[in-house]
Every structure is written in C-alpha cells, then in structure tokens.
Amino acid sequence: MQHALIPILGFAAASGTGKTTLLTALIPLLKQRGLRIGLIKHSHHSFQIDQPGKDSFRLREAGASPVMLVSTHRRAIITEIEPEREPRLDDELQHFGQAGLDLILVEGFKAERFPKIELHRQSLQQALLYPGDPDIIAVASDSLLAVPDHVTLLDINQPEMIAGFILARFITVEPTGAEWAVAMATPPPVGGSA
C-alpha cells in the first residue's frame, strides 16, 4: 500500500462471519494499550450518511461535492465518486487522515494486497481464503484448523488473543517506552498454530 503511512491490517471473511462484531471488541482492547486506531470499511451498498430533507442532503443533491458536516463532536466529509467505480484501498488511503494514528484496521477490500486476518466460522461452511491469498497472516476461527507455519491460528472468540497477536506483529514499544515503533518486518513471536 503506497499510501499507508502507518501499519494497516485487514479483516477478511464471508458476510455473516462477524467482522464488525470482532472489530467492536478489538478496538477498545487496542485503545486500552494506548493505540490510536483508524478504520476503513468497504460497503457494498450505496450508503447515505445524511438523510433526505436535511440541509446537507439537499446541498449534495444540488451538486456540491465534497460536503463537510461539522459539529462540536465530529466531522464528516461526503464526496461523490464520479464516475462510479469500485473503490481501491490505496486510493482511499490518500483521503484518510493518518496523522496521529498508530494503526489502520480495514474491513473488506479482501482482494487487495495488504496484511489480513481471515475470520472463519465452521458452521458457515465457507472455503478458507488463506490458501489463495498470500497476504493472510492469521486465521481467527472457532474450530481447530491445520494451517501452514507462516499462518497463525487464533481463536475468533478470544479478542484478547487477537489483540495480543496484533500488538506483537505490528506494534512494539521503543526501549524508552515513549514512542510506538512499527515492527511489520519482524515475524510474530506467536507460533503457527494454537
């Protein structure tokens, strides 16, 4: 990812596997360790973050793009993508404020080349993705799987284990403890299976 200025980690899985549920459990655990987390989620829908009848919706419908909504609590920028096209993660990273972040988590974009954790639930009977995706570094599953040594097996129902893997693989504390340093090139201390 040319435009990733900090570590980036994706979560890839079939719909209904629980990507968002896991992320909502992981993010507070990583924040407790002092990390500042950004997130990019790919949506397969024509979503609306403003609603018909609202001034921002009317102004956007009139042709303004981008439209920025600002309050005392948050900011949102709505930009129309013209011509319509499938978004590419690297392109979206150009528009994503990375300053002040330690890690970007990504939900979706599973066909693109960047490190990912595959989520797998035995009951869904979906084929595993890691054999066809060399960028999958771990599989978080609810069942014991035989995975190759370069893929770490994690328990999808233990977010603390997954957070520990992320910290060990992507983030390390400088000897002074004052700064976070990227350790992406260092193999994880976690074994190939759990």
pLDDT at 4: 85
The pLDDT of residue 146 is: 92
For residue 124, CA distances in Å to 110, 120, 148, 152, 156 come to 18, 8, 22, 21, 14
Q: Which of 20-29, 80-89, 115-124 has the lowest mean pLDDT?
A: 80-89
Taking 80 as the threshold, does the pLDDT of residue 118 lie above it?
yes
Would the pLDDT of 77 be above 70?
A: yes
Task: Provide the total of helices (H) and of strands (E) in the chain, helices listed first.
Answer: 4, 10
pLDDT over 70 at 187, yes or no:
no
Do 80 and 65 form a contact (C-beta atoms < 8 A)?
yes
Confidence of residue 178 (pLDDT cuts 50, 70, 90): very low
Which secondary structure element, helix H or strand E, spans residue 104, and what is its range?
strand 103-107
Question: Would you state the pLDDT for residue 47?
Answer: 67
- Separation in Å, CA 188 to CA 3, 76, 78, 96, 123: 24, 36, 38, 27, 29
Domains of the chain plus CATH, in order, are 1-42+87-194 (3.40.50.300), 46-86 (no CATH)
Where residue 45 falls among pLDDT bands split at 50, 70, 90?
low
